[in-house]
Chain A
């Protein structure tokens, strides 16, 4: 990792945000936290983000909408997006994929699982 990649972590749960943030920082990434979709969009515009990790169920703006909004901007068409889901249902995941998510992680997850997926999609 010659250049530090900046990752945005979006989740309404402080516990999960803290866990994401801690794990990613430990692995040498820079992390920007956001509490929901709306917050994320605002911060996203201000920062140079290389990757997005977002929960799907959030107040104000949910993850699916956030992914769609981000992908609308052609500059972000190829940015990796990981969605966090607790559902093992195919439908939610499919919805996320259609919206443009690159990958997903099923909660709860272990730090090494998170890093595994991040490493893979950041290539």
Chain B
């Protein structure tokens, strides 16, 4: 097609050039003849316009100044001298050479081209270089900037329709350029008997969020701009400045738009009623104007909130309830699938079994995908903590900075939400108790700025979060003294650091000498521990000598569905969280007898205490000859749990226990098995704790057992 354009242009240009030659010669004889001058001008005009469009840019450029000169001649500003005509004849020949050269003729002499152009330029008055040619509608190409939100008020002239302009076209064009909310303002439409249907009384308010810049937006109105009232304000710059979810109040917006005088606003605000209602009631501001201002408020708030929630996550936004119900459905599906598998196995129908297997595979994939959807990078919460540390350190007169790591680590949405408070607490602890004042640090030869590290990382099916500081570390003496005072420790007696530090998670345990506004108000680390454990996680603290404090939180990736290990005790089914399980070993009757009722087992040389769940849950009946010990790792401690039978892995959809059973210790929930019966999910940590409390001698028993074993 391009070639056809060029071909057409060549024919046209040669024809025009021949005519131009005649006209020029005629002009030489009658230099005042307006009609001839017009003909010359038009020929140049057409060559320039058509040339540029057919891709003859050299021709268009060359002709541009010549056309301008003849425009001046046409307006009788400069005379058509014989010199000018000679020059134009030379130019005409040059154009002809240019046109033909692109079809295989000899190239135009660039020196000659430059000479002629220079000569014409000299004839033109020295004006600022002409405004660059701008087509009516510039292409909106170019680098995409950040999303900016504009407030646009477009009040066209009453006679808008008389020029054949439909304002809806302009509004549609705006809509094409981004996310657009439009409110028509109708307050100046006269009553019907006075209304002239050919006039445009309506005007419009638009809130537009787009990546285009203000000039591009203005260009939409280019055809009507001079006779319209057009105001465009940037009301949100894509988050470059304001990170707050808040936006201006309705009153402020109306005053800013000039819809409401500031003094009126002040008067009404003093009356303490809903502003919008008062304004409407008293007809101070038209209803549509209020609507428009409210839309502005809503849009910006929505935008800013969206930015906060999904920082740098480019994705579809879905209401979280939808996700929750999806997860619930998956839970149901997993349960039904387990039933299907069981039925299939029972049916001894190979075809059905194959189908059940297929369904199982798909269900697991689906489960993983859906749970994945709920995963969010934890980094979105990190910025809040930066702020927290900044505020705290200035409040406490300390110099502390927060270093974060692993912001991209993904965690279930609900886990992230519930983690917020514990993390705030731990960070506060680090800043308040951990990091020393600058003077103190200087004395110790540490850098003036204390650092708090917050890191997140995946480790299998768990996430490990670490809150660490390079402060003074835990004060062993103070903790011990406090523990002794509260009767938690005998005045003398040996205790490992690990055991000692555990104490700080007990309710009401605070070593802070004085209560500061920041921490030490009794709402202590016990709350942190409780929240973490509610999420089936663990929290530990360590404090290497003089090197600060490290809190380590381990959490399961998700709260809704876990991999479990299904076991049986008598007729009852129980589920272990698989992530904690290390291995399963057999416990023969004579092994148990040999440890003299001490409940210890030798696992490849390591002595491991075990708990008999049968006793714990008072299950009646006789245990089988060979029992099973499920060995689990609980916060760097290995413990065995004795069960009758290990059934195998189980996709565990966690259901909360009814209100009646909420307080039952040792259980964290329930799940429904394939056959419809209920299995209880074990809270291993609580079980261990119960056991430790029940027999204070548990660790002592371990000691004794060790002695015995070494004796044997």
Contacts and interface: CB of A to CB of B under 8 A. Distances in A.
A88 B131 contact: yes
A106 B134 contact: yes
A116 B45 CA distance: 24
Contacts of B131: 88
Contacts of A27: none
Contacts of B134: 88, 106
A82 B168 CA distance: 17
A18 B8 CA distance: 8
A120 B53 contact: no
B67 A102 contact: no
Contacts of A100: 162-164
A120 B170 contact: yes
A101 B50 CA distance: 22
A15 B164 contact: no
A97 interface: yes
B576 interface: no
A116 B140 CA distance: 10
A113 B5 contact: no
A88 B165 contact: no
A105 B173 contact: no
B164 A80 contact: yes
Given A108-B49, A110-B139, A123 B166 contact: yes
Q: DSSP class of B's interface residues: helix, strand, loop or mixed? A: helix
A111 to B, nearest CB: 9
Contacts of B136: 82, 103-106, 109, 113, 117
A19 B56 CA distance: 14
A98 B50 CA distance: 26
A112 B139 contact: yes
Chain B interface residue number, banded: 35 or more
Given A101-B163, A121-B169, A15 B8 contact: yes
A14 B5 CA distance: 9
B139 A78 contact: no
Given A14-B8, A113-B137, A117-B137, A77 B162 contact: yes
Contacts, number: 129
B196 to A, nearest CB: 13
Given A15-B53, A16-B49, A86-B49, A78 B161 contact: yes
A117 B138 CA distance: 9
A113 B135 contact: yes
A108 B165 contact: no
Contacts of B4: 18
A78 B226 CA distance: 19
Nearest to B4: A18
Given A113-B135, A120-B173, A108 B53 contact: yes
A20 B506 CA distance: 83
A97 B228 CA distance: 13
B135 A57 contact: no
Contacts of A59: 39, 42
Interface string A75-102: 0011111101011100000000100111
Given A57-B42, A78-B164, A120-B170, A15 B12 contact: yes
A58 B52 CA distance: 18
Contact of B49 (A77, A107, A123): A107
A48 interface: no
B164 A121 contact: yes
Interface string A14-30: 11101100100000000
Given A14-B12, A18-B4, A113-B135, A121 B165 contact: yes
B164 A102 contact: yes
A105 B161 contact: no
A33 interface: no
A13 interface: yes
Residue of B42, B168, B172 ringed by the most chain A CB atoms within 10 A: B42
B48 interface: yes
B351 interface: no
A116 B233 CA distance: 24
Contacts of A112: 139
Given A107-B53, A123-B168, A86 B9 contact: no
B85 to A, nearest CB: 21
A22 B1 contact: yes
Contacts of A12: 42, 46
Interface in B16-47: 39, 41-42, 45-46
Given A22-B1, A104-B136, A105-B136, A86 B45 contact: yes
20 contacts: A12-B42, A13-B50, A14-B8, A15-B8, A57-B46, A58-B42, A59-B42, A77-B198, A78-B166, A87-B71, A88-B131, A102-B164, A102-B223, A103-B223, A105-B135, A107-B48, A108-B133, A121-B164, A121-B166, A121-B223
Interface of A: 12-16, 18-19, 22, 55, 57-59, 77-82, 84, 86-88, 97, 100-110, 112-113, 116-117, 119-123
Sorted nearest first, the 9 A-B pairs with minimum C-beta distance are A123-B169, A108-B52, A15-B50, A123-B166, A107-B49, A102-B164, A116-B137, A103-B223, A15-B9
